[in-house]
Every structure is written in structure tokens, then in C-alpha cells.
A and B are shown apart, each in its own frame.
Chain A
């Protein structure tokens, strides 16, 4: 049903740490691997071995570069999947009722039995989090691994999204943003987690933890001085032996 729930009991989502993401695409492929044979129809790959393959993915990693005048440039790897928005425009535009936001945990899903593949929800999403599967013609998006996180056939420790479990650097954190004491709420508070394109009014649940400041990039374009250069401990080059002798004596 495409009306949004007035309030969801939980706000499940991801905190993605841009300071730690090394851009390895592990989350991209493990997501594909899990989801192609679980929730809904497979995530197809058209022209898979041809000139320009076009496959459906629920998670993609972009690489950006940022540079201020006179400073070193910085590279940032930027994973992007559905942000499970509180005011999800993709849900309200859906004519069939296929798109919906779950009232218990806020997960935004597509019910493939109803989806007619009109694509409007993908148009409504500012973040490019929805892709229409080219073979099946139904809309695909991140399910927050709904078939993992509650799955009683999976050991408890593994009841997290596939992308979170696989991320080698530990850059992806899963939890409940409605609970201020959850891991993700705390991380986001500590690190100043940000929401993407707030002006769109979507109120994303997912948060991005921004890169920490770099020693080699400062406002003046100079290297920050976090420790002064070493004071010569030895009076002059010729004095090394004398210093050595004294130092050895102290051992």
C-alpha cells in the first residue's frame, strides 16, 4: 500500500563510514549474490558476456574526488543503496501498491506480485536506489536483506544484511536509528552522520559518516603540524659516538 505509515516502530538502516570504505565493491557483489537467489526474481544480467553488459544491482560504489584550491585532493569511495527514507517518495508515487514501507521496521520494499514495472518509483528516488530489472521487468531495490535479518535459519550473529556481513573493512553498520542507544545511532551522533540531499525532503534513515580530517589537507593547503620536527638529540654529526656511549650506559 503506497500510503506511508505515520510512524514506524523501528527505523532500520545502515550507517556507512566514508572514512573507512576502501572502495572494494565487496558489498556490491555479495549483495547481488545474496539477492539474486533470494527475495523475488533473480537480478539479471543482460548481454552478460557481450559488448556492454547491463545487470541489476541493489548497491553500487562510486568514487569521488574532492579538491580545494591549493590543497591536496582527496578520494572518497561512496557506496550507495536504498536509504529507506521516512518520507519515501518512491512509495507514494507507486500506482499499484507494489511499493510500500513496512510499519514495523520502516523497510521499503517492492511486492513483485503487484509491480507493473512502470519505473515511476525509480524516477521519484533522488538517489538512484531502484533499478528496473531488464529481464523480469519488475522494480528491484535494496531489501535491507529482510530475508536475513529475521531469518531463523541463519545463526543469530549472521542476521545482518549481506553487505554488512561481508564488508572487509567494517565500513557498514546495521541497526535501528529509532533507538538512540543503538550502535548506528551512537556512531552517527559521534561522527556527525549526514543525510543525503536533505532538500529533497525524503528524510533518509541511512546515515553517512563523513571522512575524518586529513593531516595533509588543511585550510591553507599546507601540511598540518601534528608533531614538531625532531630536535637533534645529538649535538652534531661528530657527536654520535659520545651520545651513543652515554645512551648505552643508561641501558
Chain B
């Protein structure tokens, strides 16, 4: 035998018959994918190299798309419930029957009292369609999931600087030299953050991870700050204290681009106290350093004097910066004072402040790119401060989250590192000042559309959504004195409010793509009871539930009528600039999904079904004059709907010849143009316009030309949020709009126009000697909420979730490998397996989110590891706080936005030793599977 008779190998096998380019939807990151097709089946999915979001890479979920697309849990046809709610017994029906049922429920509601419909959507990306539909229907009760997700971050960012970390912008990964990441396990920008971290590493930049848990991004960070949960605000304000003390703030930037020089009324008795001094045109005033007189802040050529004060009408007016200095230089904010509460060493706080200052001011970046600001002042260069921050739910999912998120945005502004080279940069359509957003609306007229968009940004107490009698207009009590700036609604309160009939009863709950009976609810056990609860006459307390899902989830079992959606490879979708787009800091971009595979079941894209239902109901905008349907389906809508003349869901290839960018008449070949272009459209921002966007005249003009604005919208950042002061004034008794007595104190503290910190509510209401520990969840990078479980590949990675407990807790409770714990909160109890982890804040324990499953769901065998061993932390979390002694149960939310405070949870733990049966508690009766069970084995790829 010859020594090396290697077999002959074909190293150039054919990869596939065809590549179809579309957009991933294994999560909300919206990466571009190349779907390789062979013999009509999906053979391989890879990242699209040309795509602005992922630039070719693909995460674990995206790579497991095949297993999702062919999952046995896919729903097959519309269904109506035949058993009791929660059992999972259904009968398949036709679409005609399904629409007939829905119409028979919804038409009477619309004609008599549209508020009896609550329409809430979850992880979808078609909020511009669903909100439009809900507005046309006329119900005030519409929102998406933002209220339990991250409205603190979004709203704080928008009120502060016209855009937040998160999807509205990103660090300048190429140029940044110091990057601090707060409370992020994964985020929506899954791939971009990882690509960015890779770039920072390659460039030798430093990464600081602030997180009680050191995994994922925090594991690769060059420095870890293992902060005590809920104390980031205090830590950030201490950094600000240090910077003020050392005079390391960017005064030039602050005076030009922020309201730091705005004069604030200092007369405590005045109804104008804390409001800006304004001129006759309503323009805020600053002191002109040359004349010492107040002038409009945006007057060309003036230099604002932030060191002076102005007396006017008996009141001293001081610039915002002075109020800030006074507040943050106070010893209460000194590192020495906060270190213990934050669980961070004084030295570490001081050094981080020094590093921030060093990189911002000593390692400044200069780009020789002249530009002109909106006042007409010319700048020869672009000066950058290469310090960036990113943060997500770790700081926002707390009851002090809004102010903490504000604090972080303010810190970044003080360093002059927003919209500059090396700093944080907005992605179109951001920057977008609050003024460019709508106010919320709830004006109901039976048989007609709502008086305006549901969600928006209040500018003062007059914008709250209250009925004549002061009761909430909305079922979720959004935009009330309890949470005045709840810009995304409060989806997590809908089921419990509807069950309680507080503020009123509803008739039909219509939900889409949200597993609300399971992992997206606080208080899972009780929520299932609310959904199945019956009144004295034997009817369900929440009379009707319509739900659209694509898979046999837990929530499906609780619905009366199921509208089965397709998988993401089988439908049209539109990732629109009107919604949550996929832009980059350097470019506007949007994209589509299209049926790269035709459905083989009797299912319909939900958006198409919604449009079809809308036209059956005769909703405005969805029917022609003769009553016929205006749009056949979603694809038709995407191409032909116009939000404003010339502006529609897709910005690319507009106009009859397909050359319109952002503006232009509908193009009948638009979707094909997207397909030909790889499923997306990108339009790069001209070089001189790519920084200083809120103030850059060229950018503003470009944005107008692209339909992003209808007129230039320059503005300055709000270190000081005047709107909040208006609520404080109301709480102090000023004005016509007055809060209820019991909320005055809360409003006075919470609505501070400058960032403040207070301890998370749950920790102040429970006995912390009894519940000494914090319990958190994190998203596993390879799983998307509850979806991952049905996936034969992904469920092998995270089929069961241990409770990771800190070394400190492990020692004090004598945990040994193999031990289980009973974990108890003020509200509930779970019994779960334990693993020790040292790279964890000593007072903290955590687990992966949404791994535990109800037996029978997701077409899994009933003894699936997820159902037996996996568990949900949600059983311990309540949507209401423990009683305060005032006879009331306050909501477990941020008092400003109503954001669910998932991470305020306090617990105690008991070591129960090994649990031989290996079954976590609580367990639920199995639900029946309306789609059968998956096959025993899978050997995908046999066909190729």
C-alpha cells in the first residue's frame, strides 16, 4: 500500500442551486441573510456580506434558521378553541371562518365602544402597520412591548438628546478608544455589538463592563465593575462629580449644543420655577458673554456665559450648568459616599473617572472636515472625543431606570462625545428631538378612527391621557400621573388590568407575537389564572382572546381564536424607516423579507391577515370608496401605502423609475428592486454631514431630502428636561392639571429635571434582612426568548438553566455541586438547581431568561428537559409591589415611564441539597399540542 493514498476529494462541491437574499428574523436584530436553496429546500443560511447590519456574520440563532423554519411546532391552520382555556384543545377552521369570527367580535365593539378592544403586539417589527391599524379601528388601547422592555432607555435618550443608545445610535466602533458598557448581556444589536467589540479589541481600545455578572461582553471586557444591581445611577453621578470637580467637562460643546447655558427661573414660589426664561417667541434665553444680556440661545455668533446669572422680574435666573454643578459637586455624590452602596471600590470609581477624562480630552481626534452649523457658523474641523457608552436593560429595567439612563446620557454629553468622531453617533431617522415626535392620543369616537397616534411624548401635564373624571383613558393606564412619560405603553399591565376591570372592562384582547401567559409576564402563575378565570355566570373574565403566533407556544393554549402566521422565510415584511429601521450612523437603510419559500400550510403572514381583517371591517385607509379592499395583502401595502405624500413604508427605489430616495411616488416594482439589491437598500450620508447631525446644516438638508424630516429640525440636547419640571410644578400645586394627593410626593422626587438616583422600590418595601439578595436574568446569546426551544439545535445548548449563585452566597449557604435551592421572593417561590459562580456580584444570583417551558408546548415531548428541569424566574416577580402601608399596591415599575422593574427583584435562598428527581418547581399541568409532537430523530441534510 503506498504511504499516502489519500482518497480523492471533491473540494469544490456545488453549494446550492440558488441564493435568495432576505432578512433574518431569529431575533429583532434584522441581519441580512443569504438563503441557499437546493431542490426547493433551504440548505444553508449565511450572513450577507453586503448588508449594513451584520456585514456577513451570523449568530447562532440565525444559523439555526433551518431548524426554526422546519420546526414541528409550526401552526398549520387557523384554529378555534374547543376545550377550556389553557388546555390546548383546538379545531382547525378556514380563514374565512376565522375572519368571520373576528369580525363578529370586533365590528360591534367598533360601532359602540372601541376601547373594548385591546390590541397589543410583542416582538414584531411592524409597529408602523399595527399602530396605523389600531388608530383606524379607533381603540385607544394599543401598544407594543416597549413598556416592559426598555422604554426607560428609549424615552430617557429621546428626552435628553433626541435618541438613545440601543437602536437609535451606536458607538463609533472604528475610532473609539474607551468603551463602557452598562447592563448588557446581548441587546437587539446582537451582531453589530459583537462586530464592534471585535474592532475595539483589534484596535487596542479599552472596554469596561459594568455589570453584576461577568459573562459574554463583560467577560471580554478589560475591566469589570461588578456593581450592585440598581445602583448604576449613583455610580454614574459619582463619575460626574469627579469630572465637575476636576473641571473635565467640554464647555465649548456644552455651550453650543446643549441647554447647559439656558437660564432657569430660580424663584421657588413662582409658577415658573424651574422653567426656562423665554423671549417673546418662546425661545429659551442664554446670557450673552459679550453684552451680559439674555439672548435667544440660537442667535448666530454669540458666546453664552454660563458663569453669570440674570435677575428678572424679581427672580434670579441661573444657567443649567450652575444648577448641575451645585447638585453634582455635593459631597453626597462623592465616590467615598457611594462606593459601599454600589459595591465598587472608591479607587476604581476615581480611576475610571480619570480614564474617561484622559481619553476624552488628551486623546482627542481631529478630522479635517469643514462643516457649517444650523446657525450658519463655519467650523474648520471635526473634533472628536473617543469615549463611548452603551447600556441596555441592566440599567433600564429598574424602578429608577429612567433617571439612571438620563444620567448616563448626560455623562456622555458632558464629555462632549455625542455625534462626534470616536463618540456615540445617531442612526437615521435619529437624531430626532422630542418636538418632532407626536403627543399621545386617546380620543375615541365610536365607528371612527382615533384622534391621533396612540403613543408619543408628553410635553407637560396637559398631555396626559385622562378621562373627564380623571380616570385613565387607556387599559394599561399609560400617560397617567402614575407614569406620566410612559411613551411605549405598559403591555405588562394589560392582562391584570383587564382581569381586574380597572380602569374598565374590555371585551376582546387581541395579541400578536407575545408569549404573555408565560415568559413575557411578570407573575406567570397568576397570569395564567387571570386568563382562565371565570365570573359568576361562568363566562371568562376576559371574554375573548384573539392571538397570532407562528408556533405552538404557551400563549396559544390560552386563546379562543388563533391566526397562524408563517415563518420568517415565507412572508413579506418591511423593516421600515417609519418603524425600527436598520440604519447605520453613516447611512439610511431599510430592508424587506420576502417569501423565499412558499408556505406548505394554511397559514398567512399576520400583516396580510390584519390588512384583510381591516378591509372586512371597512377601516379607513384599508378600503376604497366602493368598499372594496384597498390592499390585497401586505406586499401590496408595503409598495403602495403612503404615510405622507411620497413617503411610504420603504424609502428605497421610489417613484415610477425607481430612482427616488426616501421620497417619491409608489413604485410597482419596488419589492423586486429590493430583492434584486439583496433584500435591502442603503443610502450613504455625504461625508461632511456624517457627524454633528443635530446641528449640521448639510445633514439636516440631506435628511429633509430623504423624507426623514419635512423641514430641518436642529435642536440642542437637554441636560435639563423642562417637561419634567412641569410635572413637579403640578405636584407642588401649580396649574390646572393636578395629580391625586397620594402621588404628589412621588412626582416631586421622581420628576427631577436633572438626573437623580433613588433606591429601587422593591428593596425599600421588603425587609432586606429577610430578602438580602438580588436575582437577575440574562439573555443567552444563542436563544431568543421562548422561541429557541423549538429548535432542535439550539435547545441542545440551553435546554436547562441552572441558578448561578455568587461565591459569597455559595459559601454562606454551604452549596455543594449538585445541590438545589428554594428561592423565595415576597411573592413566590421556585425550586431550582444551583451552580456556583465567582465572577458575580457577591449579593447576586441569576439565570438564563425564558428557558423553562410548560410541558406540552412547542411540540416537544412532555418530559422535555426545558419543562422538567428548566425554570422561569418570572414566578418570583410581581407586577405589583408589596403593600406600602398606605393600603395600596403600587405597580412594580418606574414611576416616570411605567417600565417594568424586572431587575429590582429581592430574594432569599435556602439550600435543600440534591433533588434526586431533578424536577424544578413549580410544575404545570401539560397543555395539549394542537400540532402533534416532533419526530424522534433529525438528520437534516440527507436530501442534499
Q: How far is the CB of B796 from chain A (nearest CB, A)?
A: 5
Who on chain B is nearest to A243 by CB? B247
Q: Mark B194-224, 1 if CB is under 8 A from A, else 0.
A: 1101110110001010000011111111111
Cβ-defined contact, A48 with B792, below 8 A: yes
Q: Mark A215-241, 1 if CB is under 8 A from B, else 0.
A: 110000001011111111110010011
Q: Does B822 contact A (CB under 8 A)?
A: no
Q: Does A96 contact B (CB under 8 A)?
A: no
The listed residue (B58, B199, B247) touching A30 by CB distance below 8 A is B58
Q: How far is the CB of A153 from chain B (nearest CB, A)?
A: 5
Q: Mark A157-168, 1 if CB is under 8 A from B, else 0.
A: 110001001111
Q: Mark B831-874, 1 if CB is under 8 A from A, else 0.
A: 00000011110000000000000000001110111001000000
The listed residue (B225, B251, B305, B865) touching A51 by CB distance below 8 A is B865
Q: For chain A residues 24-78, which have a beta carbon within 8 Å of chain B?
A: 24-26, 28-30, 32-34, 36-38, 41-55, 57, 63, 65, 67, 72-77
Who on chain B is nearest to A168 by CB? B194
Q: Does A113 contact B (CB under 8 A)?
A: yes
The listed residue (A147, A211, A233) touching B245 by CB distance below 8 A is A233
Residues on B with C-beta less than 8 A from A171 are 198
Most buried by B among A26, A74, A153: A26
Q: Does A5 contact B (CB under 8 A)?
A: yes
Counting contact residues on chain B (CB < 8 A from A), the size range is: 35 or more
Who on chain B is nearest to A38 by CB? B13
Cβ-defined contact, A49 with B864, below 8 A: yes
Q: Does B890 contact A (CB under 8 A)?
A: no
Residues on B with C-beta less than 8 A from A37 are 43-44, 940-941, 943-944
Cβ-defined contact, A44 with B937, below 8 A: yes
Q: Does B734 contact A (CB under 8 A)?
A: no
A103 to B347, CA, bound (A): 57
Q: Mark B1-30, 1 if CB is under 8 A from A, else 0.
A: 111111101111111000000000000000
Number of residues on chain A facing chain B (CB within 8 A): 97
Residues on B with C-beta less than 8 A from A45 are 792-793, 796, 937-940
Q: Does A154 contact B (CB under 8 A)?
A: yes
The listed residue (B9, B246, B322, B329) touching A237 by CB distance below 8 A is B329
Q: How far is the CB of A71 from chain B (nearest CB, A)?
A: 10
Residues on B with C-beta less than 8 A from A223 are 345, 347-348, 351
Q: For chain B residues 900-944, which have a beta carbon within 8 Å of chain A?
A: 933-944
The listed residue (B60, B220, B321) touching A28 by CB distance below 8 A is B60
Q: How far is the CB of B211 from chain A (nearest CB, A)?
A: 11
Residues on B with C-beta less than 8 A from A25 are 60, 781-782, 797
The listed residue (A22, A77, A146, A230) touching B243 by CB distance below 8 A is A230
Q: Does A10 contact B (CB under 8 A)?
A: no
Q: Does B307 contact A (CB under 8 A)?
A: yes
Q: Does B763 contact A (CB under 8 A)?
A: no
Q: Does B226 contact A (CB under 8 A)?
A: yes
Instruction: Identify which of B354-362, B416-424, B432-440 touches chain A.
Output: B354-362
Q: A1-B6, A63-B215 are in contact. Are A24 and B59 (CB under 8 A)?
A: yes
A223 to B9, CA, bound (A): 55
A184 to B72, CA, bound (A): 42
A225 to B837, CA, bound (A): 26
Instruction: Identify which of B45-53, B124-132, B569-577, B713-721 touches chain A.
Output: B45-53
Who on chain B is nearest to A233 by CB? B247
Cβ-defined contact, B11 with A51, below 8 A: no
Q: For chain A residues 195-212, which have a beta carbon within 8 Å of chain B?
A: 211-212
Cβ-defined contact, A24 with B355, below 8 A: no
Residues on B with C-beta less than 8 A from A72 are 214, 224, 226, 839
Cβ-defined contact, B195 with A168, below 8 A: yes
Q: For chain B residues 739-754, which have a beta carbon within 8 Å of chain A?
A: none
Q: Does B289 contact A (CB under 8 A)?
A: yes
Residues on A with C-beta less than 8 A from B799 are 52-53
* 27 A-B pairs with C-beta separation under 8 A: A5-B3, A28-B797, A29-B61, A34-B44, A38-B941, A45-B938, A49-B935, A50-B936, A53-B792, A55-B796, A73-B807, A75-B839, A146-B9, A147-B10, A147-B13, A153-B14, A165-B46, A167-B57, A168-B57, A168-B190, A215-B208, A225-B347, A227-B355, A233-B248, A234-B245, A244-B306, A244-B307
- List chain B positions with a Cβ less than 8 A from chain A: 1-7, 9-15, 43-47, 49, 54, 56-64, 66, 72, 190-191, 194-195, 197-199, 201-202, 206, 208, 214-226, 242-248, 251-252, 255, 289, 303, 305-307, 321-322, 325, 329-330, 345, 347-348, 350-351, 353-355, 357-358, 781-782, 792-797, 799, 807, 837-840, 859-861, 863-865, 868, 933-944
Give me 18 other A-B pairs in contact (C-beta within 8 A), A1-B1, A232-B246 excluded.
A29-B793, A30-B58, A37-B944, A53-B799, A73-B214, A75-B214, A75-B218, A75-B839, A149-B11, A153-B12, A157-B49, A158-B46, A169-B198, A234-B244, A234-B246, A237-B330, A248-B289, A251-B252
